[in-house]
Amino acid sequence: MQDAQQSLVDALQAQVAGLSWMSESDYPFRVVVAARPESRATESAAASTNEIPPLKPVGLTVATDVPTVSIPNLEDLIKTGEPVDLDMFFQRATQVQDWFGEAEWAIAQRYQQLVRWLKENLTDLRVYRCGDIEVDIYIVGQAADGTRLGLQTRAIET
């Protein structure tokens, strides 16, 4: 992994350290990066077929308590996942309510900071939901160097 890419991954991991997506069960966020082709020939072949590289979990250096998971191929995710607007997805987590105590307010502020970081550092941001009851959620964007990276979490919705 290149220094600039590692720097982005580290910064994103710092953004989600200790954050869990709240649903019927709370799940941590995991940073994911799309695998890059190993050689120029592979890269050219992938570009000519518009093949999207598969996502793979990144070694966690900041949030060591967050386990890695098996990540599906990004192309399959785009085909099968339900797309959701980024702001709509994070709306319930970022809105501050009148009844919030200090802890709830701090969590909402962290989510606001996360959304701001994603928008400032990644383009073409997309959220995909996969599944019905155990819903895998992928938030994927593109860095300035073309790397596709983002977050994965899960929600339980019965």
CA end-to-end span of the chain: 39
Q: Where are the domains of the chain?
A: 3-84+112-156
Give the H or E element holding residue 81. none
Each residue's pLDDT, cut to its tens digit, for the chain (158 residues) gives 578 888 899 999 999 999 999 999 999 999 988 765 443 444 445 445 555 555 555 543 333 343 433 345 666 766 777 889 999 999 999 999 999 999 999 999 999 999 999 999 999 999 999 888 999 999 999 999 888 889 999 999 99
CA separation for the pair 35, 32 (Å, rounded): 9
pTM, full prediction: 0.76
Q: Which CATH number is associated with domain 3-84+112-156?
A: 3.40.1460.10
- Copy the structure tokens of residue 76: 């399959």
